Structure 1
Amino acid sequence: MAMTKTLAPVKPVAVAGYLIAAAVVACAVNIGIAALAHAAGASEDFGPLTIGAFVPYTLYGIAAGAIGWALIRWKASDPQKVLRWLVPTVVVVSYIPDLAMFFSDFEPNANAVGIIALILMHTVVAVCAVAALYQALPVTPRA
Structure 2
Amino acid sequence: MTAVAQPRTATAVGTAGWLALGAVVAAAIDLGLVQLAIALGADAGFPPFQPAAWLSFTIGGLLLAHLGWRIVRRRARRPGRVLARLVPVLVVASLVPNAILLLAPVIPGTGVVAVLALMAMHLVVAGVAVAVSQRIAPVPHG
Q: Using the TM superposition, give the Cα deviation of residue 105 of structure 1 relative to its aligned residue in structure 2, in angstroms.
A: 2.3
Corresponding residue for residue 22 of structure 1: 22
* Aligned 1:36-75 pairs, distance under 5 A: 36-75=36-75
Deviation for aligned residue 1:3: 3.4
Q: Aligned-pair distance for 1:9?
A: 2.3
Q: Give me the whole-angstrom Cα distance separating, in 2, the residues matched to 1:98 and 1:38.
A: 17
Q: Deviations over 1:16-36 (max 9, x none)?
A: 111111100000000010001
Q: Which amino acid aligns with 2:74?
A: W
Per-residue deviation, 1:58: 0.3
Output aligned runs, 1:1-143, within 5 Å.
2-10=1-9, 11-140=11-140
Alpha-carbon deviations, 1:59-115, whole Å to 9, x = none?
Answer: 100010011000001100000000001011111100011111121122121000000
SS at match of 1:23: helix
Q: TM-score, normalised by structure 1?
A: 0.94
Q: Alignment partner of 1:101: what SS? A: helix
> Identity over the aligned pairs, expressed in percent?
34
Structure 1 unaligned segments of length 5 or more: list them: none
In 1: Cα distance, 2:55 partner to 2:36 partner: 16
Aligned partner letter, 1:75: R
| Structure-2 separation of matches of 1:79 and 1:13 | 24
Aligned length: 140
State the AA in 1 paired with 2:64: A
In 2, distance between residues paired with 1:105 and 1:97? 11
Deviation at 1:4, TM superposition (A): 1.2
User: 2:112 is matched by which residue type in structure 1?
Assistant: A
Aligned-partner Cα distance in 2 for 1:20–1:84: 24
Amino acid at match of 1:9: R
Structure 2 length as normaliser, TM-score? Answer: 0.94
RMSD: 1.1
